[in-house]
Amino acid sequence: MRVADYARHHGFECTPSFAHTDDGFVLAIDRITHPTRYDASKPPIVLMHGLFQGSGVFVTSGPHSLAFFLAEHGFAVYLANNRCDRAVTTFGKTSHHTLRSRRDPTFWDWTLSTLAKHDFPAIVAHVLANAKAEKLVWIGHSQGNAQAFLGLHYHPHLNAHLVALIALAPALFMGPLAGHAGSATCPHATAAARAAREGPFAHLVHLATNRPDTFATVFGPASVVPVMHHAQRLLPAPVFTALAYRMFKYLFGWTDRHWAHDRKPHYFQFTPRPVSTRSLAEWLGNVKAGYVRVMAAGGPVDLDGKVTCPTALFSGGRDFLVTTAPFRDAKARRAMRYGAAAAAAAACAVGEEGIRRGPPRVGGARHAPHDSACGVPSPVAAADAKDGAESDADSAVNGDDHVGGFRAVRDVTLPEYEHMDFLWAKDAHMRLWPEMLRVIDEAWAAEGRRG
């Protein structure tokens, strides 16, 4: 089934369109609206998928899918795809690129940095033009938010066109699983994460970072294991679902404990999707380093002064792949400067301490989330979904120690959520979607007051 099929099945309108990158790729984008509740005065919303996925992941949870929830609240929702994911048909010709074919090795020569430099601004420009709007909301899952953070690093002027950036499973800093792959000792990690220390994920990282030629031979010189996409198309959905789920669980420790099991065959219609081997290798290099690097051998992305739009972080307490600890803890931020082992250990320690609620103290006094002095972005306002108890953060998030400096208006951790639960948890429409809607409404109201 296509995105349009899911949308129309649930009573929504779906209009396909496409964006062009400045290096010639054609990106498929679907616009979903409610036939009677659409409100043109509201900002358009872009939903961007993560690694190995396509935009359909936002419509496969039945009537409670994120795309449908937002459309029911009056928004025009744009489901975007990165390069190489889905072909676009124009004038009777189906293609991904204006000049290159999928058989051309240069067609697959791209990484996360490429998506940030080219796909991110192309999608923003296309959606603004299509919606006849000046600003939009960007909601990204995993790579979908790393792409936006890095995109704003390269194109800081695009902050002026973002009402808010909402990061589901923020993927700038790698979590306990990354620490294990990087040979870090993490004494407070859960049993599941500890088991991955010498598991397949660690060997995958080692292969990508130490034996790149062998990695390319095993996974393919262009796209990652292209045969699995043929299997996805040809095998019965339940069979492919069982195989794909076991593969991802084996590699990344995912479980389906929070998913609606009858929806699993739908989830795996859009997972996995084509990814370049070079992109996967870069991600595994990031895992070993402990953070997303600006370039293949560079340091962590420094967002000070680069991300000025309101930003919300939604993380999972059982998401071992990524962490938000360096955003909120001075020790973890400092650790990023001393290598992956120290960073991963700090991330695990912070994860065990629990999440704090309320704005941190700055100079002994509390500041509201939107307060600022001399134009400096305000500190993080942390909202813990665990118990609602308030306590002070250890330190401010500005100053020389701040690696990932930006203005976060929400910092929410769902203690039992795993990496994919932000898309597929059967209770997400009750626990997560309303909080995201509040972020959007508050940011849009603030825009109105400034305007």
Q: Tell me the three state secondary structure of residue 159.
A: helix
- Write out the residue range of the structural domain in which residue 212 sits: 3-450
- In DSSP terms, 77 is beta-bridged to 32, 45
Percent over 70 (pLDDT), the chain: 71
Range among 107-121, 247-261, 396-410 with highest mean pLDDT value? 107-121
Work out the mean pLDDT of the chain and round it to a whole number: 77
Rounded to the nearest 10 degrees, the angle between the axes of helix 277-289 and helix 212-219 is 130
Buried b (16+ CB within 10 A) or exposed e, 53-91: bbbbbbbbbbebbbbbbbbbbebbbbbbbbbbbbebeee
Instruction: Look at 105 and 433; give whichever has higher pLDDT.
Output: 433
At residue 138, what are phi and psi to the nearest 5 degrees?
-110, 120
For residue 249, the model assigns a pLDDT of 84
Q: Can you give the pTM of this predicted structure?
A: 0.81
**Residues 260-271: what's their mean pLDDT?**
88
Distance between CA atoms of residues 102 and 177, nearest Å: 33
| Structure confidence by residue, pLDDT tens digits, 42-70 | 999 999 999 989 999 999 999 999 999 99
Domain count, the chain: 1
Half-sphere exposure of 384 (CA within 13 A, CB side): 19
Q: What percentage of the chain's residues is helix, strand, coil (to nearest 5)?
A: 40, 20, 40
| pLDDT band per the 50, 70, 90 thresholds, residue 219 | confident
Distance between CA atoms of residues 307 and 119, nearest Å: 18
Q: Which residues contact 262 (CB under 8 A, 6 or more apart)?
A: none
Domain CATH code at residue 138: 3.40.50.1820
For residue 86, the model assigns a pLDDT of 59
For residue 329, the model assigns a pLDDT of 64
Instruction: Look at 297 and 106; give whichever has higher pLDDT.
Output: 106
For residue 356, the model assigns a pLDDT of 33
User: Strands, DSSP E only, in 169-203?
Assistant: 173-174
User: Strands, DSSP E only, in 176-327?
Assistant: 307-316, 322-323
For 14-18, 205-209, 417-421, which range has the lowest pLDDT when averaged over its residues? Answer: 205-209
Q: Does the pLDDT value for residue 200 go beyond 80?
A: no
Q: Does the pLDDT value for residue 404 go beyond 70?
A: no
First to last CA, the chain: 42
**Residues 182-193: what's their mean pLDDT?**
44
| Structure confidence by residue, pLDDT tens digits, 355-393 | 333 333 222 222 333 322 222 232 222 333 333 333 322
**Residues 414-428: what's their mean pLDDT?**
95
